[in-house]
Structure 1
Amino acid sequence: MANLSFEEMWEKIMACDSSYDGLFYTAVKTTKIYCRPSCRSRKPKKINVDFYETITEAIEAGFRACKRCQPDTGLSPQMELVTGVKSFLLMHYKKPLILQDIADHAGVSPFYLERQFKQATSDTPRTYLEKVRVDKAVHLLKHSSLTNLEICYEAGFQSTSNFYKVFRTMMNCSPNEYRRLR
């Protein structure tokens, strides 16, 4: 089973290690439920656990899918949330968004959204939005003759000072220097 011993798989489920999702499934004999290794549900006793390589094996053994981690769906609930938020940010990068707006769209609390997004991407939603905006600005600097002020607003920044600050932080140069170098 993925070249992992029982003990190694046990350690992975105790650590809720999402990098092993899909490689094996944990089945709890007492509840008749199977989960992903990353499931955050209460951990079972070690003697009550079996491991299966595929969902089909777990189902054939009489187990049903966990409602919390939803191992029978393609993506984990966390990745579905993150993918949905990324899509929302790409579609609405020009709008003056705050974390509450993004969380309202996702249907979760701002704290939960930020924690899950950062865990999955190593960025906060705000940082990801700034990266999207800088990418748009870079594209416009390369392929248009718009002024920096026009690019600032076209890329979704609400103020020129924030545009210059974020651009310099991410690109290690000002928009003017970037345009000259390219």
Structure 2
Amino acid sequence: MTDSVNIGFQENHDYGMMTDKKWQAIINNDASYNNQFFYAVKTTGIFCKPSCKSRVPKKENVRIFQNAEQALQANFRPCKRCKPTNEKLPDSEWVALITEYIDKNFIEKLTLETLADIAHGSPYHLHRTFKKITGITPVEYIQQVRLNVAKKYLIQTNKAIADISICVGMPNTPYFITLFRKKTGHTPAQYRELH
């Protein structure tokens, strides 16, 4: 008896159930379902109309909402691409979402195209807006995050330089060493000795 009550609560808590029809609408960018429901992606913190042309999320990361207000109340931000609230997300908030994603996923292969896809915008717009808000490009920010983590590894561990380069998402060790020297003035080995 308790289980059925909990299951019912969970469905109500999620403001709507994922049905095969809704999932097909998301996969097929079906505009006929717009305003019937909205979907949010837990990993990005963004919600969309069913017709959104963004990359199809993993089904297990999707939450369904009956309206945009419910998605906003659950702390999801409107997509820049499909504009489910017909309002633009302020650029600073959009860039904050992107930097947060980079901070959590810097080990992955991150390209401008990948980030634009995840952030529901174009690579050109992402690059321009990111630089306007932060003063650096998304690629420079990714490098900065990776090198800051590498510095911690160099100081706090005895890991080999090649292992550290892999741990920070840069499997090409010579490139890692070159970039590290360019940005810090020292090779990773020199940096470790100094600190």
Partner of 1:38: none
**Is 1:108 equivalent to 2:89 in the alignment?**
no
Distance of 1:126 and 1:162 partners within structure 2: 14
The residue that corresponds to 1:155 in the other structure is 168
Determine the structure 2 residue equivalent to 1:42: none
Correspondence 1:27-106 to 2 at 5 A: 77-106=90-119
Cα shift at 1:139: 0.3
Matched, 1:127 2:144: no
Asked if structure 2 preserves the Cα contact closer than 8 Å seen for 1:168 and 1:174, the reply is yes
- Alpha-carbon distance in 1 for matches of 2:167, 2:87: 41
Q: What is the root-mean-square deviation in Å for CA atoms of aligned residues?
A: 1.3
Q: Is the Cα–Cα contact under 8 Å of residues 96 and 158 in structure 1 kept in the other structure?
A: no
The sequence identity of aligned pairs, in percent, is 29
Q: Secondary structure at the match of 1:115?
A: helix
Unaligned runs of 5+ in 1: 1-66, 70-75
Whole-angstrom CA distance in 1 between matches of 2:166 and 2:176: 9
Name the SS for the 2:162 alignment partner: helix
**What CA distance in whole angstroms lies between the structure 2 residues aligned with 1:122 and 1:95?**
23
Aligned to 2:178: 165
Q: Name which of 134, 149, 172 aligns with 1:136.
A: 149
Q: What residue number does 2:55 align with?
A: none
1:54-103 CA distance string (max 9 Å, x none): xxxxxxxxxxxxx656xxxxxx7101111000001011100111111000
Distance 2:171 2:94 in 1: 26
Unaligned runs of 5+ in 2: 1-85
After TM superposition, the structure 1 = structure 2 runs for residues 13-28 of structure 1, keeping only pairs within 5 Å, are: none
> Could you tell me how far 1:169 is from its partner in structure 2?
1.3
Normalised TM-score (structure 2): 0.54
* TM-score (norm: length of structure 1): 0.58
